[in-house]
Structure 1
Amino acid sequence: MRAATPSMYADVLTESTLRDVVDLAVRLVEFAGALIIFVGAAWAFVQFIGYGTVGLRKWRGTPGAEFGFNRIRLTLGRFLALGLEFQLAGDILRTAIAPSFTEIGQLAAIAAIRTVLNYILGREIEQERREIERLSPQTSAATPGTAP
């Protein structure tokens, strides 16, 4: 049996084969990102409808009633942030093989836009988390064994 040499793999792993493999990986990663965003949006919609039929009418003028709505927004924001990360990963994979300057420029623009969106979503998530903690009855009560 002969030892494997780099030239033996050159025929198997041609640039076109590598492009096909990376293209499939890009499609899978982008599909995963889109699926995550869709699942998050569907979940948030169902939660909102459920919350709307039960508690939205009581929301106006009731202290702390927006707690459920903020929790829905927080969870949706997390789904969106994760989905955007997958979409960015797909864009990075797309330019992994012999990118042109045009592709690099497009990736930079897309990455900048998605990074800004992710940053804004992160700030929104943090703000919503603090609001939920402020409104949550469990966090306002003193925990046993801790100083007030």
Structure 2
Amino acid sequence: MDLHWMELLLSHSGQTLRLGLEFLSLISVAIGLLAVLSGARKLRLREIPPHLIQRGPVTLARVTFGSWVALALEFQLGADVVLTTISREPNALIQLGAVALIRTFLNFFLALELRQEDRPSEHQRSMNDS
């Protein structure tokens, strides 16, 4: 049985999916940049807590853009998984695994920083309690 055509179909499908995920990653960063530059509420991924709005525009911009970058990293990680799946070379698999690991750590620390920004400061909590 000739499975060559199935292998080609899998390879082409994987490449198309990978390119689609990379495109979505690029679009996510562009939308994040537009959201920061325009300050448009509708372009934010999530509702911004009032304590962040009170901290100022820089914090608000960091959280808004950081959310979009985190989404872009997720798309890039998905693209890496697809590429790893369709790759046949051991060196390519090792390299892609290292890149995926780095992107996972970047996304983890970015999400951690965003969560820390989301928490109200001690000063804000004491003012809310009063």
Alignment TM-score > 0.5, same fold: yes
Q: Percent identity between the aligned chains?
A: 27
- Distance in 2, matches of 1:43 and 1:98, equals 36
1:141 aligns to 2:96 (yes or no): no
Which residue pairs with 1:14 in the alignment? 6
- Distance in 1, matches of 2:8 and 2:25, equals 25
Cα deviations by residue, 1:109-132 (Å, 9 ceiling, x for unpaired) = 1112111211221121012111xx
Write out the 4+ residue segments of structure 1 that deviate beyond 2 Å after TM superposition: 45-48, 64-69, 133-142
Post-superposition shift, 1:10? 4.7
2:39 partner SS = helix
Which residue pairs with 1:56 in the alignment? none
- Distance in 2, matches of 1:139 and 1:84, equals 36
- One-letter amino acid of the counterpart of residue 36, structure 2: A
**Comparing 112-121 and 76-85, the one that deviates more:** 112-121
Which residue pairs with 1:105 in the alignment? 94
1:74 aligns to 2:63 (yes or no): yes
Number of residue-to-residue matches in the alignment? 118
Structure holding more helix per residue: 2
Q: 1:98 to 1:114 in 2, by over 3 A?
A: closer
Q: Which residue among 21, 25, 43 is the counterpart of 2:17?
A: 25
Q: 1:98 to 1:65 in 2, by over 3 A?
A: closer
TM-score, normalised on structure 1? 0.66
Post-superposition shift, 1:67? 3.0
Q: 1:32 to 1:75 in 2, by over 3 A?
A: same
Higher radius of gyration, 1 or 2? 1
